[in-house]
Chain A
């Protein structure tokens, strides 16, 4: 028993040693754990108290996503309120860059569902890298219903990808109005500056035409929506919404009915027509053919379509009425006559003899009429378009006086119409030749200028403006396309039309008008066949046939080749400027048919039809009030306060 106790004793002793050691070590362990625990507490304090603000901001950034709300683009209407450019619904697939991590993979998945081309794919990946994260990237536009449904069904496999209903521009009278309205297209890298709206997917800006001129007003102001999103980019709820301002409605001076009629009349021709209101310069119709489909710029062209469009020698993309440059030809004779009358180089009674040509030194200058017109005074000179008469008149007047008168009437300078791309044309003078070509002005050149050829270049718009000013009593007009802009922007209103006189002797103007009346209504007038018989609707005007090739002496002897036998490119341009009605002319028109042939046979009948239609439609009337409905509901929060 004793030994047992002893054994127990030693055992107890041993155990108490172990216990002591254990206790010591346990204390150290506890100390270590306390140290580690305080490290946790310190770190938590740092994160949640000292750095809390930063993380709170990060959490908000995580949670809150700012979305831009594109405003609806303003519509464009004609002078009677008919829509010319509107918005249509457009379904598109967009991707939220911030919630898509692997765009390549996502595109692979999406590519199995809807078609995405290789070029598109590259564009998407490029945009994915360059856009700010909160700006979604458009994957494809103009989805049909079937595609919309397929994407929606596969939504769970496509985090961050959503269907978006946007609006796309639509031009109901696409071909007829393309050159006036221009078109909208995706923002180019250069334009992407300033307005964050420009970074929105599929946002369109005006590239030419009225769409470009009034792009800011049409665009409106973008709204903002603050939304709460989860980690997958799904919108949980909207926190705040700041409505934008819809684009302004732009009213044009165009009469859409007349515009489409003119377009149809010019079908198949390479031509340009401008119809003006002689009183105030309102452009009632402005047609350039061939045309193009501006809607296609929204959908996108195939490479081939685009190539065809640019390589077409008839330049469908160019607005020939303001960018096409032509010799005005005989339509310029009124200007020469006015300059001569003003200089008193001729009187209305001055007579010249036309024997079919005029010799200047060794050179012969031919009249268009073989055999000549005989004795010609001013009225006959214009009526029968005698070239010799105007050679003589021009020589007596001198180029500088002609140029001065031409400038007064709008040639050789930009008229300031509210469209981009207007050309100034060219009105030559001594000084001009010296400074640009470095040589002396030749008398022969004055003679050519006398019949509107040579260096001279003018746009159909300039010809129409000239005509309008000749017949409206000598009032200066500035052509314009914009009637009004229903816009919240204060500076967009055009200054009211001011009537100023051109300071041309009214007597001279009357002479010219009578002669232009005779051109169409006198049996010997060059455009007699194209006259308007309907009483009260008669027109006056002036034909022009512009040579685009040189006719050699040799050819003259053999007989000038008929236009129809020439290749299209070498045929004459057919021109006509006209007005109607005879009493108090309200409509002025200029017609240029490229390589059309004779002005009297090709251009004059077109002008007749147009002027007749304009009068019948009363295109220039103002009585019709345009509808005044606001394009969209007023915003709840205004970006521009109302005081």
Chain B
């Protein structure tokens, strides 16, 4: 990684492949493998048995396809992503609107759009296309620009519009993630801290009004979070059972495929949102910490790559992706251990689910790409020369 200055010569494909952080890829693969193992266990009908069906095998195939896509994204010229950032954002946004008009309705909320062969959840994609769009916008602005309030208006809209749409679906978890991830990019771009304070104050003031607009089940989730015993067989059931499963796992767990809570179906959604609980029940605190350690390593990679990058777009994309990854992980784990209300959020790379896996790997493709193109000089609109 010697200082090359401004290289105008394009990297060849071979060079790019060489530049891929293969250790990061290995970390991702390890995390996904933890998921395979847990899905194998979850597939078992009774304690002590596991099965590739119905979840583990399909997850493996998705991961395989996702990795291919990730590497493709990584080696594509980063300026390409910059140039098409708004277009991608717009496309995702349109998909969200289409869903509002009538997509496939599942699990009480319409989040899916049917593309014939695959069902796509545009809200998952939006988490990354929004990062791209914001990164492009701030890439083009100087420090002076950023201090101008009017300059901040378009990116605010970039965050607010999809958030509002997703909230209407209703998907509280994704909304929160979009807003926080957007905020983090504002923060990294250099927006003054007092502005965040002002915004937070405004949010606090408007919270009672927002409460008014929440759906009953969302209110229930918040209330249940505050007091899970409130309704032990209703809304609080998930979180109580999750805590019981987790707590009873103890330090070293009950053993692979021997989680009684999960296998006796006390634990709901054990293959998706509550897979961390299952892991912790079967492998105990050590298993949970192990996965957290793995995640932390990935986060460290994300930070290192972003800090090393010599263009603002890459830096913002890198930490945007890393932050989204972190939010997935944090919201999911904090939810299953009862730190925050139950909002639907998968455990990244581990939970069963196609779109989340694919879009997460798309994000990591961007991150790998940021590293490959760390020294690429990018103009305001994505060309090498133009500033």
Would A230 and B264 be within 8 Å (CB), given that A14-B142, A55-B247 are in contact?
yes
User: Which of B13-21, B105-113, B148-156, B299-307 lies at the binding interface?
Assistant: B299-307
Residue in contact with B244 in the complex, picked from A36, A40, A45, A62, CB distance below 8 Å: A62
Are B261 and A59 in contact (CB-based, < 8 A)? yes
Flag if B310 contacts A51 (CB, 8 Å). no
13 contacts between A and B (CB under 8 A): A15-B310, A15-B312, A18-B142, A19-B310, A41-B292, A48-B250, A49-B285, A52-B249, A55-B244, A58-B244, A59-B248, A62-B264, A231-B265
Decide if B218 is an interface residue (CB 8 Å cutoff). no
Which residue among B248, B261, B266, B319 has the maximum number of chain A CB atoms within 10 Å of its CB?
B248
Which of A17, A23, A231 has the most chain B CB atoms closer than 10 A to its own CB? A231
User: CA–CA, A610 to B156, complex, Å?
Assistant: 107
The 8 closest A-B pairs by CB, nearest first: A55-B247, A59-B248, A230-B264, A48-B285, A231-B265, A56-B248, A231-B266, A52-B250
| Among A24-32, A85-93, A276-284, A508-516, the stretch in contact with B | A24-32
Shortest C-beta distance, B250 to chain A (Å), equals 4
A229 CA / B261 CA spacing, docked (Å): 10
- With most chain B CB atoms within 10 A of its CB, the pick from A11, A14, A39, A48 is A48
Least CB distance from A80 to B in Å reads 53
Residues of B with Cβ closer than 8 Å to A?
A: 6, 46-47, 142-143, 184, 187-190, 233, 241, 243-251, 260-261, 264-266, 280, 284-285, 288-289, 292, 296, 299, 303, 306-307, 310-312, 315-316, 319, 323, 326, 330, 333-334, 337-339, 387
- A36-71 interface code vs B (CB 8 A; 1 in, 0 out): 110111011101110110111011101100000000
Q: Report A's interface with B, CB cutoff 8 A.
A: 7-8, 11, 14-15, 17-19, 21-23, 25-26, 28-30, 33, 36-37, 39-41, 43-45, 47-49, 51-52, 54-56, 58-60, 62-63, 101, 228-232, 236
B46-A236 in contact (CB<8A): yes
A43 adjacent to B339 (CB under 8 Å): yes
In the assembled complex, the Cα of A456 lies from the Cα of B312 at a distance in Å of: 117
CA distance A180 to B318 in the complex (A): 91
Docked-complex contact B187 and A29, CB < 8 angstroms: yes
Distance to closest chain B CB from A19 (angstroms): 7
Set A22, A48, A232: member contacting B265, Cβ < 8 A? A232
Tell me which of B189, B251, B264, B280 contacts A228 (CB under 8 A).
B264
Residues of B within 8 A of A29 (CB): 184, 187-188, 319, 323
Q: List, in ascending order, chain A residues with CB within 8 A of B288's CB.
A: 44, 48
Contact yes or no, B143 A17, CB < 8 A: yes
Q: What's the nearest-Cβ distance from chain B to residue A277, in Å?
A: 62
A274 CA to B244 CA in the complex, in Å? 66
Rounded to whole Å, the gap between the CB of B56 and the closest CB of chain A is 21
Kindly provide the distance from the CB of B248 to the nearest chain A CB, expressed in whole angstroms.
Answer: 4
Given A22-B190, A40-B339, A48:B143 Cβ within 8 A: no
Contacts of A62 in B (CB 8 A): 241, 244, 260-261, 264, 266
Cα A228 to Cα B263 in complex, Å, equals 11
A332 to chain B, nearest CB (A): 71
Which of A14, A29, A33, A44 lies at the interface centre, i.e. has the most chain B CB atoms within 10 A of its CB? A44
B326→A58 contact, CB < 8 A: no
Distance in Å: Cβ of B309 to nearest Cβ of chain A: 9
When distances are taken between beta carbons in the complex, the residues of chain B under 8 Å from A236 are: 46-47, 264
Contacting pair B303 A30 (CB below 8 A):
yes
What distance in Å separates the Cβ of B179 from its nearest Cβ neighbour in chain A?
16
The smallest beta-carbon distance between A63 and chain B, in angstroms, is 5
Q: Cβ of B285 and Cβ of A59 under 8 Å apart?
A: no
- Cβ–Cβ < 8 Å partners of A39 in chain B: 334, 339
Q: Is the CB of A26 within 8 A of B244?
A: no
Bound-complex Cα distance A101 to B323 (A): 41
Q: If the complex has contacts A21-B190, A29-B188, A36-B330, are A48 and B266 also in contact, measured as CB distance less than 8 A?
A: no
Name the one of A21, A54, A229 contacting B143, with C-beta atoms under 8 angstroms: A21
| Contact B188 A56, beta carbon cutoff 8 Å | no
How far is B248's CA from A47's CA once the two chains are assembled, in angstroms?
A: 8
Whole-angstrom CA separation of A544 from B343 in the bound complex: 91
The reply to whether A45 and B285 contact each other, CB–CB distance below 8 Å, is: yes
Query: Contacts A52-B247, A55-B243; is A11 near B387 (CB within 8 Å)?
Result: yes
- Which of A39, A47, A56, A229: most chain B Cβ within 10 A? A47
Task: Please name the residue on chain A nearest to B184 by beta carbon.
Answer: A29
Q: Which residues of A contact B233 (CB under 8 A)?
A: 101
Q: Which residues of A contact B143 (CB under 8 A)?
A: 14, 17-18, 21
A54 touches B247 (CB 8 A): yes
Contact A48 B244 (CB under 8 A): no
* Cβ contacts under 8 Å, A25 to chain B: 187-188, 190
**Nearest-neighbor residue (CB-CB) of A230 within chain B:** B264
Q: Are the CB atoms of B319 and A26 closer together than 8 Å?
A: yes
Known contacts A19-B310, A19-B315, A52-B247: does B285 contact A44 (CB below 8 Å)? yes
Tell me whether A40 and B337 are in contact in the complex, defined as CB-CB below 8 angstroms, given that A7-B387, A58-B244 are known contacts.
yes
**Is B251 within 8 A of A23, CB to CB?**
no
How far, in angstroms, from A232 to B266 measured CA to CA in the complex?
8
Q: Kindly provide the distance from the CB of A98 to the nearest chain B CB, expressed in whole angstroms.
A: 10
Residues of B within 8 A of A45 (CB): 285
- Closest A residue, CB atoms, query B296: A37
Select which of B247, B296, B315 is within 8 A of A47 by beta carbon.
B247
Asked if A26 contacts B306 (CB within 8 A), the reply is: yes
Closest to B306 in A: A26
> Given A18-B312, A52-B248, list of 8 further CB < 8 A pairs?
A19-B310, A22-B188, A22-B189, A26-B188, A47-B337, A52-B251, A63-B260, A231-B241
Given A14-B142, A52-B248: A22 in contact with B312 (beta carbons within 8 A): yes
CA separation between A492 and B46, bound complex, in Å?
A: 48
Q: In the complex, are the beta carbons of A230 and B250 less than 8 A apart?
A: no
The CA of A59 and the CA of B307, in the complex, are separated in Å by 46
In Å, the complex CA distance between A230 and B267 comes to: 10
- Say which residue of B189, B265, B312 sits within 8 Å of A230 (CB atoms): B265
Q: Which of B142, B311, B337 contacts A43 (CB 8 A)?
A: B337
B66 to chain A, nearest CB (A): 24
Contacts of A54 in B (CB 8 A): 247
Across-interface contacts of A22 in B (CB, < 8 A): 188-190, 306-307, 312, 315-316
**Distance A39 CA – B340 CA, assembled complex (angstroms):** 12
A40, closest chain B residue (CB): B333
Q: Which residues of A contact B261 (CB under 8 A)?
A: 59, 62-63
Kindly report which residue of chain B lies nearest to residue A4, judged by CB atoms: B385
Collect the chain B residues with CB atoms within 8 Å of residue A8's CB. 6
A26 touches B296 (CB 8 A): no
Bound complex: CA A545 to CA B251 (Å) = 90
Cβ B266 vs Cβ A230 within 8 A: yes
Asked whether, in the complex, the Cβ of B323 is within 8 Å of the Cβ of A231, the reply is no
Q: Which residue of B lies closest to A10 (CB)?
A: B387
A26 touching B303, Cβ below 8 Å? yes
A101 to B236, CA, bound (A): 14
How distant is A279 from chain B, measured CB to nearest CB, in Å? 65
Identify the closest chain B residue to A39 (Cβ): B339
Residue of A whose beta carbon sits closest to that of B260: A63
- Residue contact B247 to A56, C-beta cutoff 8 Å: yes
Bound-complex Cα distance A517 to B292 (A): 105
